[in-house]
Structure 1
């Protein structure tokens, strides 16, 4: 007799739950709840081919499967909302959103300092033009600020510095993610970046996509930056928008 639909320990991966629709295993999965949150979800099912065999009768027993009673994950076949994941499918905890924000601020400061050093001549030109504007405003010129924006020397220096800032940001982010799995800010707070389903450092493609859909788009369109920062607060996997293209997540170091 087939077991009723519900969340059961995944026979192919003991660190997660998989939805049994009453006849077969589906693609819907969730991280297993922490110890003490429900029955033992790590028992051996004894199934050699989980794709075609049903779970055993849903009652406790040696080697048997026990459904996760009172599951907060809902029924995916009915479109019920699912709980937010606490860990990746292999059990690595997802990163704290507060620490991620602090890491982001640290990275922003470091990138700004490096870009300022690299483009110091451009910064000096911008400050010289701003000093002239300040002097004009002090002398009673009401159009001093407008003239600053129209000053070809200031606009050229400002545009060039923006390119320097983006180049530094790209190298800083892509290289550290690819070779170390974390930017210095994330490493400082015990965070790293990985694929949702697979451990290990991000690939070149994932690292580049993450920068393109984060720093570059944020520089071009500031409302996107705000939405990107807020997105993890309601996303099921705590992914920001810049995590979506490459399927990455931020996790805590083991």
Structure 2
């Protein structure tokens, strides 16, 4: 019996198991592997979005606005979208992103993304599904559509 892996072992385990080296996340984009300017990883991004969601839904929607609990989810989503557009559009990061040491950068130069890209990215982020489908550079579909990348500070 030969020692070749079964055909299912190559695609179930991913391309790295098949011997394909894809490089590190962000290499294709010209970003460093680690440190400032490298791709913001999954844990930091999830932590940041959870902080932002809690701020928008609990602190602002229920605390300051005292929204009816039946409508709080939709109002919280609108507050969340407003926070993203205002803060990412002006300083390139939200409160949660700052806390976790990441920011949103435009692909063409690494600076703050233009307002149109921020609006598109925010709309797709609020739909949730595009943000859950990632490429090998750990960019969601919302980042790809807006031509942005989340990087470490």
Q: Aligned residue for 2:23?
A: 83
Taking the aligned partners of 1:240 and 1:199, their CA distance within structure 2 comes to: 17
Taking the aligned partners of 1:121 and 1:186, their CA distance within structure 2 comes to: 26
Taking the aligned partners of 1:177 and 1:185, their CA distance within structure 2 comes to: 11
Question: Which residue, out of 57, 62, 66, partners 1:112?
Answer: 57
Taking the aligned partners of 2:67 and 2:96, their CA distance within structure 1 comes to: 27
Q: Is the 8 A contact 2:92 2:105 kept in 1?
A: yes
Taking the aligned partners of 2:39 and 2:72, their CA distance within structure 1 comes to: 36
Taking the aligned partners of 1:121 and 1:95, their CA distance within structure 2 comes to: 34
Taking the aligned partners of 2:136 and 2:43, their CA distance within structure 1 comes to: 17
Question: Which residue, out of 74, 77, 95, partners 2:40?
Answer: 95
| More contact order relative to length (CA 8 Å, sep ≥ 6) | 2
Q: Which runs of 5+ in 1 are unaligned?
A: 1-71, 73-79, 124-157, 219-223
Q: Aligned residue for 2:90?
A: 179
Distance 1:121-1:104 versus aligned 2 partners, 3 A rule: closer
RMSD (CA atoms): 2.4
Taking the aligned partners of 1:199 and 1:249, their CA distance within structure 2 comes to: 8
Q: Deviations over 1:43-82 (max 9, x none)?
A: xxxxxxxxxxxxxxxxxxxxxxxxxxxxx9xxxxxxx874
The residue correspondences of 1:136-147 to structure 2 (distance < 5 A) are: none
TM-score, scaled to structure 2: 0.72
TM-score, scaled to structure 1: 0.46
Distance 1:117-1:99 versus aligned 2 partners, 3 A rule: same
Question: Which residue, out of 114, 139, 149, partners 1:249?
Answer: 149
Q: Is the 8 A contact 1:83 1:236 kept in 2?
A: no
Q: Aligned residue for 2:12?
A: none
Q: Aligned residue for 2:105?
A: 194
Q: Aligned residue for 2:6?
A: none
Between the two proteins, the alignment pairs up a number of residues equal to 129
- Report the structure number with the largest CA radius of gyration: 1
Q: Which runs of 5+ in 2 are unaligned?
A: 1-15
Q: Is the 8 A contact 2:52 2:80 kept in 1?
A: no
Q: Aligned residue for 2:4?
A: none
Question: Please, which moves more after superposition, 184-193 or 91-100?
Answer: 91-100
| Greater share of residues in helix | 2
